[in-house]
Amino acid sequence: MSNQEYQVTRSSNAARVAAILGAIVVVVLIAAPWWAGRADMRLMGEMFLYLALASLWNLMAGYAGLVSVGQQAYVGFGGYMLFALTMFAGLHPLTAIGLAGVLGALISVPVAVLIFRLRGAYFAIGTWVIAEVFRLSFAQVSALGGGSGSSLPVGIVKSLADARDTREALSYWLALGAAVLVVAAVYFFLRSRRGLALTAIRDNELAASSLGIDIWRTKLVVYIVSAALTSMLGALIFLQKLRISPDAAFSVNDWTAFVIFIVVIGGIGTVEGPIIGTLIFFALRETLADLGTVYLIVLGLVAIVVMLKAPRGVWGLIRSRFDLQLFPLRYRVIRRGPSKGA
């Protein structure tokens, strides 16, 4: 009998290759202002923001068991904070984005205290109520245009940069940076002790609670951090749109339905899922968007079929076939073959 060496590891060749390829892709993307057209850059910027939103929603629903259909509350809140802080407090837009995150975190605490009283699916609808309360409240603020909304004054737009090209490059980089930052933050959080605890909870709540893992606090932290980052993303989104209204800012379709489709189709509960899902979602949108409502019906059907037939999405299918993980979270035991001198 030969001795065999076993190794417990998180890294794998696939993950190392993926890390290198990922770094190359990021560098190429950073250089986009020098090689991509204006329309392409706008599209990519939008993709990055959706990727970030999807990664955060996936963290909540796929890992923390917090299924929200009300993340538009924070997208809209962040957007409105950008407008309010730049227009009334005279802050620089970048400062306003950061502050929008802080304020989003602050307001999410009392919100969480309330809606954490609701279990499961009722939690989901509760988040929607909160988003409605936000929408109706901002519609009452006449200084921000009430129900019809307002536009960002030219002076504030120009404070980012005078030249239009520079502005567009800057907002592209901000979107790219946000996506990289959020994906990395989610990944490293899930690798941390708390993050692994979260995965343990998802996979077996009973075992996790018997290990003394404080489920409620971990979920609260996830909720607050997601709220803060979603608020910052909202501020970024409306810095690009330059115009805000309650219906656009708190749209359940734009900021929640599409995000859910991305995560479900890509693969819920995987770090890679939102990335794949974003690519599929935008590919579908660019080819089918002319069909209008039919396109949305197709999206709904695809999501239902995926949820029933492949609950871990496209990435789940790939992973089960090839045993791949590009963002290694779990430790695996690897046999390294017989060693010498048995």
Partner 1 sequence: MEWLNAIVQGALLGGLYALFAAGLSLIFGVMRLVNIAHGDLIVLAAYLGLTVTAATGLHPLLALVVVVPAMGAIGYALQRGLLNQTLGDDLLPPLLVTFGLSVIIQNGLLEVYSADPQKLDAGALETASLSVGGLSLGILPVLTFAVAVAVIWALQWTFYHTSLGRAFRAVSDNQDIAQLMGLNRRHVFGLAMALALVVTGIAGILLGIRTSFDPSIGGGRLIFAFEAVIIGGLGNLWGTLAGGVILGVAQTVGAKIDPGWQLLAGHLAFLFILAVRPNGLFPRIAA
Q: Which two tokens stand for residue 292?
A: 């209008």
Site for partner 1, residues 43 to 62, rule: CB under 8 A: 61
Q: Is 187 in the site for partner 1 (CB under 8 A)?
A: no
Distance in Å, CB of 68 to partner 1, minimum: 10
HSE-up (13 A, CA, CB side) for residue 265: 24
- The interface with partner 1 within residues 88-117 (CB under 8 A) comprises 114-115, 117
299 binds partner 1 (CB under 8 A): yes
Q: Which two tokens stand for residue 88?
A: 């009334």
What is the C-alpha separation between 235 and 212, in angstroms, rounded?
Answer: 38
Cβ 271 vs Cβ 140: under 8 Å: no
Angstrom distances, CA of residue 91 to CA of 26, 95, 155, 178, 293: 30, 6, 12, 20, 40
Select the residue interacting with partner 1 from 105, 268, 276, 326 (CB under 8 A): 268
Q: Which is nearer to partner 1, 69 or 152 (by Cβ)? A: 69
One symbol per residue from 59 to 88: x for binding partner 1 (CB under 8 A), - otherwise; what is it? --x---x-x-x-------------------
Tell me the C-alpha distance between 286 and 280, whole Å: 10
Residue 31: CB minimum distance to partner 1, A = 37
Scanning residues 116 to 175, which ones bind partner 1 (CB under 8 A)? Answer: 117-118, 120-122, 124-126, 128-129, 132-133, 136-137, 139-140, 147
Which residues lie closer than 8 Å to 279 by C-beta, 6 or more apart? 47
- Phi/psi of residue 198, nearest 5 degrees: -60, -45
Minimum CB–partner distance for residue 293 and partner 1 (Å)? 4
- DSSP for 149-190, please give it: -EE--HHHHHHH-SSHHHHHHHHHHHHHHHHHHHHHHHHHHH
Task: Indicate the residue among 128 and 255 with the shorter CB distance to partner 1.
Answer: 128
337 makes contact with partner 1 (CB under 8 A) = no
Binding status of residue 203 toward partner 1 by CB under 8 A = no
9 beta partners = 332
**Residues at the site binding partner 1, with contacts judged by CB under 8 A:** 61, 65, 67, 69, 114-115, 117-118, 120-122, 124-126, 128-129, 132-133, 136-137, 139-140, 147, 252-253, 257, 260, 264, 268, 293-294, 296-297, 299-301, 303-304, 307-308, 311
